[in-house]
Chain A
Amino acid sequence: MAKIKNVGIIGAGKVGIVLAQLALAAGYNVRISGSGSVQKIALTIETLVPGAVSATNQGVVSKSDLIILAIPLSRYKNIKPKLLKDKLVIDAMNYWWETDGIREEVLDPNSTSSEQVQKYFNKSTIVKTFNHMGYHNLQEEARPAGAENRKALFVTGNNKAAVDEVADFVNTMGFDTVVHDDLADGIMTEPGSSLFGASLTKGDLQNVIDHFDETEFGQKVKAGKAN
């Protein structure tokens, strides 16, 4: 795959805007779309992320090497699978009952949110990351590689090459990474897990991930009750 130069962000809310700011600071060309018209987010984008381009979903996707989904999970089906065909896509979403409503109405109870996102966008390569750190922590904790106390993000997906590519991208965005190659492991960082909302260094994050089965939430997942 060619080197990532153009980053497209779908979702101009708190997370989408922070990721756009980080991507711009990392030297990428950034395009971003919101739920309404381009005009509706134009003032917000030109003020909060000067340098990023407001576009439609179509405009974002067609010109980007990497797409980040940063919308409420309950809305991912508003995007047609065809639009993201053959694209590398970061799923920064989680099921969050306060925004998304009742889980059964949004998700199949038998698998994790990212697996279902992958199933829906079946011609895209989904990698999950940026989902477990608070948006203001993402903004404030981004640091150059090697910086003291640099924080880490969990990156996981079924396609190893894609996961590695996204991990490199995350590194340029200001974070260390802990990498897995199973999209279902995304559950380890979803709401209810001890990593959701936490900002940890690579060592600490690795430690929690390695001992996930021993956490209370891990036990629930094992028993099939956390999905």
Chain B
Amino acid sequence: MVNVDKLQFGLETFGDIVSAENGDLLTAGQSIRQIVKEGQLADKLGVDVIGVGEHHRPDYSVSSPEVVLGAIASVTQNIKLATAVTVLSSDDPVRVYERFATLEGLSAGRAQIMLGRGSFTESFPLFGYDLTDYDDLFNEKLEMYSQLIKEKPVTWQGKFTQTLKDQDVYPKTDYNGIETYIGIGGSPESIIRTAKYGYKVILAIIGGQADRFVPYLDLYKKAASQFGKPIQPVAVHSHGFIADDEDEAVEVAWKNIKANFDRIGLTRGWAPMSREQFDGETKVGSFYVGNPEHVAQRMARTIKLLELGRFDLVYGAGNQTAAQRERMIELYATKVIPRVKEILSEEG
């Protein structure tokens, strides 16, 4: 069952390059400063979480999300600061701990980490890793991370990582440690692994219907029970775009999400997105696009279906203008979130 009072609503951005009103692209620096401004806006309007992704590509401005989150921390009060995601496989777990413990201190307990294997692969060669070690890298680094966040001296025999002898990591956190999620794209093994560690699940549903994840929820619950870990509400992350007018929302999203997906597809061998695919995604799939009422109805359905504790909408895909991005945040916070809560309360 969904607990409406405890339901969390987040916004996530991958740091797509922002477009000026005349269509010219802003610089990466300007795009980064825009995210800080948006974090401030989301905090002021009561959004629960802002998440920033990590990418190492020309079409995204953020490769070091914690630095951006640190800047947001200094101009906000309540909003939680998350990565979406931290590519642990190509990172150093000690550094990951240090950066998040620092963010935790800066923000007085608002840091949140989402760990993932990464759906992009640029970071692997960039940091000297071999993609064919994809699974082993993540498994080893996750185990190391799980020991480090206990904030006690660690002794560790590494294969892909450094070996530690009774070594400690700093700074220590003042709060209850760093809240940890694992981002999951649909691999059953990842669900079981997350349950084993007792971390929280965030499902990245970036294509197709949310319904196909219903059995995954069951898998998570069974696995958590088997490992004797608490069953925690699951979170979902999906793309969206909201505008006052339904048609405007659909057209802006079609242009931008398509451009974004096609650019990625080009390097991965996917065929370009068809209008039929896009329309399917916005009607019954994983794009939450439309006016506030439409988006609220669809989000409420998914939240109920997967008994969610949190829904994060990914905003800014493609090259949207600052005005489009900010208006979307306003509508999400002031219209969509209250309406989703209302729908869920009415339905009981």
State the A residues within 8 Å of B (CB): 12-14, 17, 41, 43-44, 47-48, 74, 96, 98-101, 134-137, 139-140, 190-199
- Which chain B residues lie closer than 8 Å to A41 at the CB level? 188
Which of B209, B218, B269, B274 has the largest number of chain A CB atoms within 10 A? B269
Given contacts A101-B131, A197-B271, contact A44 B192 (CB under 8 A): yes
A98 and B131: CB pair below 8 A? yes
Per the 8 Å Cβ criterion, residues 111-152 of B in contact with A are: 121, 130-132, 134
Q: 1/0 per position for B282-296, CB-CB distance to A under 8 A?
A: 000000000000000
A44 and B189: CB pair below 8 A? yes
Tell me the complex Cα distance, A48–B274, Å.
30
Closest CB in chain B relative to A195 CB, distance in Å? 6
Tell me the complex Cα distance, A101–B121, Å.
11
A191 and B188: CB pair below 8 A? no
B212 at the interface (CB under 8 A from A): yes
A136 and B269: CB pair below 8 A? no
B22 at the interface (CB under 8 A from A): no
Given contacts A48-B216, A101-B131, A101-B132, contact A14 B186 (CB under 8 A): yes
Closest CB in chain A relative to B320 CB, distance in Å? 24
A96 and B269: CB pair below 8 A? yes
State the B residues within 8 Å of A (CB): 121, 130-132, 134, 186-189, 192, 207-209, 212, 215-216, 218-219, 222-223, 226, 265, 268-272, 274, 277
Tell me the complex Cα distance, A191–B11, Å.
32
A139 and B215: CB pair below 8 A? no
A47 and B271: CB pair below 8 A? no
Which of B186, B226, B272 has the largest number of chain A CB atoms within 10 A? B186
Supply 4 further A-B pairs (C-beta < 8 A) apart from A47-B222, A136-B209, A197-B265: A43-B219, A100-B132, A192-B269, A196-B270
CB-nearest residue of chain A relative to B272?
A: A194
Tell me the complex Cα distance, A74–B219, Å.
28
A136 and B271: CB pair below 8 A? no
Q: Which of B134, B226, B270 contacts A191 (CB 8 A)?
A: B270
CB-nearest residue of chain B relative to A18?
A: B212
Instruction: List 7 A-B pairs, minimum CB-CB distance, nearest first.
Output: A191-B269, A136-B208, A197-B270, A44-B188, A198-B271, A192-B269, A47-B219
- Which chain A residues lie closer than 8 Å to B218 at the CB level? 47
Closest CB in chain A relative to B212 CB, distance in Å? 6
B216 and A140: CB pair below 8 A? no
Tell me the complex Cα distance, A117–B216, Å.
32
Tell me the complex Cα distance, A101–B131, Å.
7
> Per DSSP, are chain B's interface residues mostly helix, strand or loop, or mixed?
helix
A140 and B121: CB pair below 8 A? no
A140 and B270: CB pair below 8 A? no
Closest CB in chain A relative to B191 CB, distance in Å? 8
Tell me the complex Cα distance, A101–B133, Å.
10
- Which chain B residues lie closer than 8 Å to A44 at the CB level? 188-189, 192, 219
B187 and A14: CB pair below 8 A? yes
B269 and A134: CB pair below 8 A? no
B265 and A43: CB pair below 8 A? no
B277 and A17: CB pair below 8 A? no
Given contacts A134-B207, A198-B271, contact A43 B226 (CB under 8 A): yes
A136 and B131: CB pair below 8 A? no
- Which chain A residues lie closer than 8 Å to B222 at the CB level? 43, 47
A47 and B215: CB pair below 8 A? yes
- Which chain B residues lie closer than 8 Å to A139 at the CB level? 208, 212
Closest CB in chain B relative to A40 CB, distance in Å? 8
CB-nearest residue of chain A relative to B220?
A: A47
- Which chain A residues lie closer than 8 Å to B130 at the CB level? 101
CB-nearest residue of chain B relative to A134?
A: B207
A74 and B132: CB pair below 8 A? yes
A43 and B121: CB pair below 8 A? no
A199 and B277: CB pair below 8 A? yes
- Which chain B residues lie closer than 8 Å to A47 at the CB level? 215, 218-219, 222
CB-nearest residue of chain A relative to B121?
A: A98
- Which chain B residues lie closer than 8 Å to A198 at the CB level? 271, 274
A136 and B187: CB pair below 8 A? no
Tell me the complex Cα distance, A134–B277, Å.
12
- Which chain B residues lie closer than 8 Å to A197 at the CB level? 265, 269-271
- Which chain A residues lie closer than 8 Å to B192 at the CB level? 43-44
B270 and A136: CB pair below 8 A? no
CB-nearest residue of chain A relative to B134?
A: A99
B212 and A191: CB pair below 8 A? no
CB-nearest residue of chain A relative to B207?
A: A136
- What are 30 pairs between A and B in contact, CB < 8 Å? A13-B187, A14-B186, A17-B188, A43-B222, A43-B226, A44-B189, A44-B192, A47-B218, A47-B219, A48-B188, A48-B215, A48-B216, A48-B219, A74-B132, A96-B268, A98-B131, A99-B134, A100-B132, A101-B132, A136-B209, A136-B212, A139-B212, A140-B208, A140-B209, A190-B269, A196-B269, A196-B271, A197-B265, A197-B271, A198-B271
Closest CB in chain A relative to B187 CB, distance in Å? 7
